[in-house]
Amino acid sequence: MSGGYDDRDGKIWMDGALVEWRDAKVHILSHALHYASSVFEGERCYDGTIFEGHAHSERLIRSAALIDFEIPYTAEQIDAAKEEVLKANGLENAYVRAVAWRGAGPDMGVASARNPVRMAVAAWEWGNYYGDAKTRGAKLDLSKWKRPSPETIPSEAKAAGLYMICTMSKHAAEAKGCSDAMMLDYRGYVAEATGANIFFVKDGEVHTPLPDCFLNGITRQTVLKMLKEKGITVHERHIMPEELEGFQQCWLTGTAAEVTPVGQIGDYSFEVGALTRDISDSYEKLVRS
């Protein structure tokens, strides 16, 4: 599949029915376009099965509730829509994007309670999110933007508006030749990358930031479970940026990122070590089991 995302062949599920890819459109006065009243999920299908697909559907509904709207579909109906899209497009291995938003209606100010809630599901083939970083290790910049306090945003929601500073951070990182950026939180603790959670290794033990002001990713939770099953000691805690000097390995987790090794963050370097490779390989086997 090539070309712009608005100019492709295929089918997209939209508001309960499959439509031609190029016909999946919204009005310019959709509330979400102006006020970010939108939530989404990114999922991967492996050999015909979406990994943790139902958990993603449930989180989509929960995210919408956190930003004050109700999706007019159950998690089971969303699951069925995703399967319908994959089948219609003949995809066995794909990235799946479900999105729900407040559309155009009688409200066009900040408030939008009377506007209809709309939903769509698309799927396409998508390779490694960080390209060859899967083997070499990604290079990360240090973002100037910080994850805000949960008193200022619904940090547990996968909401479009929360990614604005992520986009800005990733653009700045790419301009420096990096794959991504690591963000701190409002207190100065290590938080996450722009679209992935982060893990560190020191003397055979794993350290990962406590997700008290950013999304506790489904892949993150999966990897934590894998580590504990392997008997690896895991510390979920607040991490200061100066601690990076003492860590030997690092990796990112996310549906798009999967498990991606990190070779460098700013001036700090990390080896793509045995534990990182083991977790990456184990995750790959798990999602295809």
Q: SS3 for 167?
A: helix
Query: DSSP class of residue 179?
Result: S
Q: Are strands 117-124 and 249-254 parallel, antiparallel or unpaired?
A: unpaired
Whether residue 158 lies in the annotated active site:
yes
Given a contact cutoff of 8 angstroms between Cβ atoms, the answer to whether 20 and 11 are in contact is: yes
Q: Using CB atoms within 10 A of its CB, is residue 17 exposed (0-12), middle (13-18) or buried (19+)?
A: exposed
**167, two tokens:** 């986009």
Q: Catalytic pick from 134, 158, 228, 285?
A: 158
Integer Cα distance of 225 and 99 in angstroms: 28
Integer Cα distance of 251 and 285 in angstroms: 17
Q: Residues with catalytic annotation? A: 158
